[in-house]
Chains A and B, each alone.
Chain A
């Protein structure tokens, strides 16, 4: 089993739709969780950190479920500019960040 798993997609959604991605992780001792956004041939950029109580940043909501060992990202009112690959990142052992392979999102006009 991979340490961090994501559905690769692509998720094709119309503009204005709500879309949700999940990411499961295997190490119950993981402490920090992040969602990154990566555009084609560019570097990953932090979208948001994920906190135990859940957190929101505009149209984006992230949640953590420690019992079931997954994190989620909800995007409301999708924009064309949201089209990208979304990477789930989990901290493992000391200094280690473990990346999912990413979920591709395409927002269609």
Chain B
């Protein structure tokens, strides 16, 4: 069974902390994505990667960075967490432009 695994389901951090969200997929997909989802705003793309060490900014990259050192792993980093980064974070992967597979999401609260 195909799987995208996010490291934490719930996370609580303090303002100014550096936060790491990890995502691992076991499908050998070249494309990986980080989205955030907020009520009324839908899913918004933060960053994506189409190959190891390659990354592209999405629609809302400010305050975030990413790392993809291995094909199966894509990490999202909040350099200095702020309260407006409280959100549901969803990782996804895909093969070419085929269907997206999502992880179960991380609900991040920044206090």
Chain A residues in contact with chain B, CB under 8 A? 31-32, 34, 36, 41-46, 49, 87, 89, 91, 95-97, 99-102
Contact = CB atoms under 8 A, between A and B. Distances in A.
B107 interface: yes
Contacts of B43: 44, 87, 99
Q: Is the interface of B mostly helix, strand, loop or mixed?
A: strand
B100 A42 contact: no
A99 B42 contact: yes
Contact of A97 (B33, B88, B103, B104): B33
A15 B96 CA distance: 38
In this complex, which of A44, A45, A49, A89 has the most chain B Cβ atoms within 10 angstroms of its Cβ? A44
18 contacts: A31-B97, A32-B97, A32-B98, A41-B88, A41-B107, A43-B102, A43-B103, A43-B105, A44-B90, A44-B102, A46-B101, A87-B43, A95-B48, A97-B33, A97-B100, A99-B42, A99-B43, A101-B41
A101 B42 contact: yes
Given A44-B102, A97-B33, A102 B97 contact: no
Nearest to B90: A43
Contact of A100 (B42, B45, B97, B101): B42
A100 B99 CA distance: 15
Contacts of B105: 41-43
The 7 closest A-B pairs by CB, nearest first: A101-B42, A43-B102, A99-B43, A91-B97, A32-B97, A43-B105, A46-B99
A67 to B, nearest CB: 22
Nearest to A96: B45
A13 to B, nearest CB: 23
Given A32-B97, A95-B48, A100-B42, A42 B56 contact: no
A89 B100 contact: yes
